[in-house]
Amino acid sequence: MARPHRTLRGRIHYTSRAPGREGVERGREFWSLTVHGDGRRTLNSHCEIDDPPPVVRDVVLAFDERGAPADCAVRISVGDRFVGSSWFRFDGTQLECEAHTVLEGRVSQRLRSQAPLAMFGTHPIQADALLMAVADRGIVGRWQTFPELYLCSLDHRGATGPLLMRHPTGLRLALVGEERLTVGAGTFDAWHFRIGDAASTEPLEQGSRNEPGKHPPYDLWCTTDGDYVMLKAQVTGYMQTHYELVELHRT
């Protein structure tokens, strides 16, 4: 008899850290994560970014029992206008996308990755936390590089496409350490990760590139219980954004 599934639900508060806007709400994210009895996972995420032009993004991202991306659906609106809707499927090194976007029209993509896909970027903050499962937690305080990264949008707000897009440099991340962290949703044991551009050469203490056009330093804290629930995240540089889990329900 299969084990029963369980579901987690959360709400993330988006605020600004920009001078003159410290603590101002700039968006929100509502998500649910279902952990199926056979080990598969399904994330449903609704994201709203208020900064003009406002972005509304809905994502359903599924992982197989090994933690690899299996399929995904993404719908994006910008400025309260439809931008695009796409469906993705991943099977080993085979990547598929069926899309309809305002800029590109009807698009069918068939790509092949160099190795079985380990991650797919979709831009919800909780989805970013789930990507941390690819890190080797036995390596602390050192960058780990993942040269092949695909996303549904290369825009830092995820406001284009959605299409299959290969990141030009890939991803690097590091487990900074373990901490006891208190956020709006409670107090948790947390892993602290730092995320950066794989082409960067900056030391771990500095983070990643910090000039316009490059993603600035990105730190993320998630639970250590294997569910990778995002607790807190912050991006510095020109973005100056902060994210915090303010509600968490387990069923």
| Res 1: pLDDT | 58
pLDDT single digits (tens) 164-183: 999 998 999 999 999 999 99
- Tokens 């719908």, residue located: 75
pLDDT of residue 199: 52
Residue 251: its pLDDT value, please? 85
Structural domains in the chain, sorted by start: 6-250 (2.40.360)
Over residues 204-226, mean pLDDT = 71
What percentage of the chain carries pLDDT values higher than 90?
Answer: 86
Closest CA to 117 of 74, 45, 63: 63
pLDDT tens digits for 64-106? 999 999 999 999 999 999 999 999 999 999 999 999 999 999 9
CA–CA separation, 5 and 10 (whole Å): 17
At 216 the pLDDT is 79
3-state secondary structure of 73: strand
* Extended beta strands in 120-170, E state: 120-121, 144-146, 150-151, 165-166
Q: For 10-15, what is the mean pLDDT? A: 98
Q: Quick one: pLDDT band at residue 204, thresholds 50, 70, 90?
A: low
In one-letter notation, the amino acid at residue 58 is D
How far is Cα 228 from Cα 63, in angstroms, rounded to an integer?
A: 13
What letter does residue 181 receive in the DSSP assignment? E
For residue 126, give the 3-state DSSP assignment: helix
pLDDT at 211: 44
For residue range 110-167, list pLDDT tens digits in order: 999 999 999 999 999 999 999 999 999 999 999 999 999 999 999 999 999 999 999 9
Single pTM value for the model: 0.92
Which DSSP string do the residues of 147-168 spell out, in sequence order?
---EES--STT--S----EE-S
Residue with the larger pLDDT of the pair 147 and 209: 147
Comparing 51 with 203, the larger pLDDT belongs to 51
